[in-house]
Amino acid sequence: MDATADDRPFVNLDLVRWHLTASAFFMLVSILGGLAYAMQFNNLYPFSGIEWLSPGRVRMVHTNMAAYGFIANAFMAGLLFAIPRLTKQPILSDKLGWVIWGAWNLIMVLTIGGQLLGYGQGIEWGETPIFVDPLVLVGLVLLVVNMSVPIFRSKEPGLYVSLWYFLAAFGWTGLVYFMGNYLPQFWVPGAAGAAITGLFIHDLVGLFITPIGWGLMYFFVPILLRKPIWSHALSLIGFWGLAFFYPMQGVHHFLYSPIPMYAQYGAVVATIAVEIVVFTVIVNFFGTLHGRADAVRGNLAIRWFYTGMIMYAITCFQCAFQVTLTFQKVIHFTDWVVGHAHMVMFGVFGFWIMGFFIELWPRAVGRPWANPSLLTAHYWFTFIGLIVMVIDLTAAGLVQGFSWMSLSHWGESVVASMPFWWARTVAGVLIVIGQSIFLYALWITARAPAPVRLTDAVRVQAA
């Protein structure tokens, strides 16, 4: 990835730029919503008494914009960049690309509006209003068509591991979205519906976000480190292990619920299996880093990627334990799970997306980063904020869980959680500061006078 000139024949950098812009915008919406919601727990909610800004509704905006506004938009930018370069083919149609951009971000606006006006759906991670769901499915199908045609047209001798993940995700995403938003809503009531909701909660992360995230890592990391992936065999194990075990563990979100016990046991076993498998992927990436570890210090994109990777390792390790019935007795329904979710969605995939921004934004706007030291500040504010939040919520979860088990009055668990909820808000403020610095850096870079020729100045030298 040396010069923008190389990207031009295949990559539509305007589309990449607008997807990144939309991603950054909805990220801001999401984190501001999250911060406001956190302040409710300190009895400091800024919009108290305003119906359409009720905390319950804002929470839906927070989670949905994180997944569909921030992460999905950034992933589309990544795919628009990676697929044409891997296949040496342009996407099917640039016009269709713009239609998808417009449709997807219209969906985001309709989702925010619908949820704030009281039309949120009663499905976790599927709170997108019912009238938006068909539009999402159409958008996803168009996206899959637009992105998979270059893969099938490619004349390259082999299919690189990134493309395995992308193709699998293309196969999964529409099915997952349809299953989760329609079956429990219209056809499957009660405990069986909960089993399907559990699958949806899990598959959205596991079969949409995870494969595209890893596919993009397999694309970016070897290029930035200028060396091939350490082990092809481990890539194979990681992919097929994920493909086989990930789709069969949804019920672990409802352990000890009235869902049949065999489904719960199966989910636990499959979850522990997949955690072992994903460690092969992590080993593979650290094997790749071996001998180039200086890049973590010198290259900010690599630093974001590998910070996220360590978070991923922690998450998976944690998950293999928290999914057991023993842990579930205490930690289920507590803030432990909220901490886990933040570590996965933001600490892993959000951090990787920051790396994509570092690499793609200068190309997309045709200018080097205007002020790289801002990006270093962004990293540290965000990283410290997230770490504080995760540790704090994990500890809060234990306090809450044991408080409930002790049969003390419900209010005791609320009072005991107060200091943790304050720390969570402070951590949220740190993240918002970090992201604000980042948005400012994006803005001044895009607004800087155009350089005559883009050179290695693109490379960010972080202190």
Among positions 335-394, residues that touch another protein (CB under 8 A) are 337-338
Q: Which residue has the tokens 């100045």?
A: 457
Rule CB under 8 A: is residue 333 a binding residue for another protein? yes
In sequence order, which residues have a C-beta less than 8 Å from that of residue 83 and are 6 or more positions away? 91, 147, 150, 151, 163, 166
For residue 374, with 0-12 CB atoms within 10 Å meaning exposed, 13-18 middle and 19 or more buried, which class applies?
middle
Rule CB under 8 A: is residue 118 a binding residue for another protein? yes
Q: Which is nearer to another protein, 69 or 150 (CB)?
A: 150
Rule CB under 8 A: is residue 163 a binding residue for another protein? yes
CA distance 175 to 247: 11
Binding marks (x or -) toward another protein, 232..251, rule CB under 8 A? -----------xx-xxxxxx
Number of C-beta neighbours around residue 124 at 10 A: 16
- The amino acid occupying position 375 is L
Tell the smallest beta-carbon distance from residue 203 to another protein (Å). 8
Site for another protein in 21-40 (CB under 8 A): 40
Tell the smallest beta-carbon distance from residue 412 to another protein (Å). 8
Residue 178 contacts residue 135 (beta carbons within 8 Å): no
- The amino acid occupying position 341 is A
Tell the smallest beta-carbon distance from residue 14 to another protein (Å). 27
Stretch that binds another protein, among 3-11, 365-373, 383-391, 400-408 (CB under 8 A): 400-408
The distance in angstroms from the start CA to the end CA of the chain is 22
Tell the smallest beta-carbon distance from residue 72 to another protein (Å). 18
Q: Which is nearer to another protein, 112 or 199 (CB)?
A: 199
Binding marks (x or -) toward another protein, 129..148, rule CB under 8 A? -------------------x
| DSSP character string of 176-225 | HHHHHHHIIIII--HHHHHHHHHHHHHHIIIIIIHHHHHHHHHHHHHHHH
CA distance 211 to 278: 11
Q: Which is nearer to another protein, 11 or 176 (CB)?
A: 176
Count Cα atoms within 13 angstroms, Cβ side, for 247: 15
| DSSP character string of 78-112 | HHHHHHHHHHT---S-HHHHHHHHHHHHHHHHHHH
Rule CB under 8 A: is residue 274 a binding residue for another protein? no
Stretch that binds another protein, among 132-140, 327-335, 346-354, 438-446 (CB under 8 A): 327-335
> Site for another protein (CB under 8 A): which residue of 106, 109, 191, 276?
191
Rule CB under 8 A: is residue 127 a binding residue for another protein? yes
Q: Which is nearer to another protein, 169 or 309 (CB)?
A: 169
Stretch that binds another protein, among 193-201, 295-303, 359-367, 431-439 (CB under 8 A): 193-201
